[in-house]
Amino acid sequence: MPAEILFPVISDLIDPATDQKGNAMAKPNYQFKKRQKELAKKKKKEEKRQRKLENKTVETDETEKDPTPSMEDR
């Protein structure tokens, strides 16, 4: 019997880029994952900015509706 049948090539067993049959496997796309993470951060930051802006406008509207009496009104 040939030695290759009894003892598989060590590089095939160690190489993470191939599956058990020796077929090439897909590699992770780290750039895509990084870009998606950056876009998620940017979206979250923009939503937070919008909430703060809305809270500020609501606060400003309330102060305009209930002005405090000034010295001249007395």
For residue range 15-65, list pLDDT tens digits in order. 566 666 777 778 889 999 999 999 999 999 999 999 999 998 888 877 777
Pick from 22, 26, 24, 27: nearest CA to 11? 22
Q: How far apart are CA 56 and CA 51, in angstroms?
A: 9
Q: What pLDDT was estimated at residue 24?
A: 77
Question: What is the domain partition of the chain in residue ranges?
Answer: 3-61
Contact (Cβ atoms closer than 8 angstroms) between residue 53 and residue 61: no
Q: What letter represents residue 28's amino acid? A: P
- DSSP letter (8 states) at residue 73: G
CB atoms within 10 A of CB 43: 10
Q: For residue 4, what pLDDT is reported?
A: 57
